[in-house]
C-alpha cells in the first residue's frame, strides 16, 4: 500500500484484528455482487469504502424512481441509467482506487459460473429464488464463500454458506430447490427502507471478515430480523447429507 492508502485505511489498520496485513488482504480481494439494488447498494458502498481491490456488479435492470426510496447507490439524476453504471459512478466517487466492473446482464448458466470462479467472495443481493439457487450451486461447485441476504416488508435474513468447510450447509440445505416457495417481490409487498441497509451492511461485514480470515462468520447460523420489533432470531443450521447440491452423493 502507498502512503495515501495507509492514511485512507488508517482506522482499519489501527484495529489489531485487522492491521496492515488484514487491510492488504482487502485491497487484493475480488468480490462479486449479484444485484445492485436495495441490498447490493449498502454492501457495495461499504466494500468500496473499505478498499476492496475489485468489485464486480451484476444487474440487468435500470434505475427507476421507485428504487430511490432504498437503493442508495442511485440518484434522481440517474433514473433510466443502468444500475451497474450508476453504481460504478457512485463507488468510484467514494474510492477511485477500487476497480469496479459493471455488467448489465442477467448472468446465468456458464456465464454465472465463469464470474463466480473468478471471485474470492460472492454476495447474493438478488430478489428471486431461481437466481439464489443458481448462485449457490456455482459457489458450491467452485468452493467460493457465499454471503446471502434477503429482505421484504419488515423481515430480513442473512447467512454465510462456505463449503470450503465440509461441515458447512449450503443455501439448498436450508431452502431445497425442489420445494415451492412463494416469490414475494418488493413491487407487490413493499419493503422498509432501512431494513435493506441493515442486511446489506451486514453482508459487507461478513464478506470483509471472510476476506481477512478474522472473527466468526455466520456459517451454520441464519439470522432473522423483525424490524417492527427490532428483534433478532438465530436459527442453527446443519448440512443436509441428502442435499441435491452439496450432499454426499455430490
Neighbours of 163 (CB within 10 A): 23
Rounded to a whole number, what is the largest CA-CA distance in the chain?
53
Closest CA to 212 of 12, 58, 23, 30: 23
Write out the three cell numbers for 4.
495515501
Q: 78 and 87 in contact (C-beta within 8 Å)?
A: no
- The string over 62-80, giving b where at least 16 C-beta atoms fall within 10 Å of a residue's C-beta and e elsewhere, is bbeeebeebbbbbeeebee
What are 147's three cell numbers?
454471503
Contact 36, 43 (CB under 8 A): no
Q: Is 173 a catalytic residue?
A: no
Q: How far is residue 105 from each of residues 60, 91, 187, 243, measured CA to CA in Å? A: 4, 19, 21, 29
Q: Annotated catalytic residue: which of 125, 186, 243, 246?
A: 186
Which residues are annotated as catalytic?
186
Amino acid at each position: 500500500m502507498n502512503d495515501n492508502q495507509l492514511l485512507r485505511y488508517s482506522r482499519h489498520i489501527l484495529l489489531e484484528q485487522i492491521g496492515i496485513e488484514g487491510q492488504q488482504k482487502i485491497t487484493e480481494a475480488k468480490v462479486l455482487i449479484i444485484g445492485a439494488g436495495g441490498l447490493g447498494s449498502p454492501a457495495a458502498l461499504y466494500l468500496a469504502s473499505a478498499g476492496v481491490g475489485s468489485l464486480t456488479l451484476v444487474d440487468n435492470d435500470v434505475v427507476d424512481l421507485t428504487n430511490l426510496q432504498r437503493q442508495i447507490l442511485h440518484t434522481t439524476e440517474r433514473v433510466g441509467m443502468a444500475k451497474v453504471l450508476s453504481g460504478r459512478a457512485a463507488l468510484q466517487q467514494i474510492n477511485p482506487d477500487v476497480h469496479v466492473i459493471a455488467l448489465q446482464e442477467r448472468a446465468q448458466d456458464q456465464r454465472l459460473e465463469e464470474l463466480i470462479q473468478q471471485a474470492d467472495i460472492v454476495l447474493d443481493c438478488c430478489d428471486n429464488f431461481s437466481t439464489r439457487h443458481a448462485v449457490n450451486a456455482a459457489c458450491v461447485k467452485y468452493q467460493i464463500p457465499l454471503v446471502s441476504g434477503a429482505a421484504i416488508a419488515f423481515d430480513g435474513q442473512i447467512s454465510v454458506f462456505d463449503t470450503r468447510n465440509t461441515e458447512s450447509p449450503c443455501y439448498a440445505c436450508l431452502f431445497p430447490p425442489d420445494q415451492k416457495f412463494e416469490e414475494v417481490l418488493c413491487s407487490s409487498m413493499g419493503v422498509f427502507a432501512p431494513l435493506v441497509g441493515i442486511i446489506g451492511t451486514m453482508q459487507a461485514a461478513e464478506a470483509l471478515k471472510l476476506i481477512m480470515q478474522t472473527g466468526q462468520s455466520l456459517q451454520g447460523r441464519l439470522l432473522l430480523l423483525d424490524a417492527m420489533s427490532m428483534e433478532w432470531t438465530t436459527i442453527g443450521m446443519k448440512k443436509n447429507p441428502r442435499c441435491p447440491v452439496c450432499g454426499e452423493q455430490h
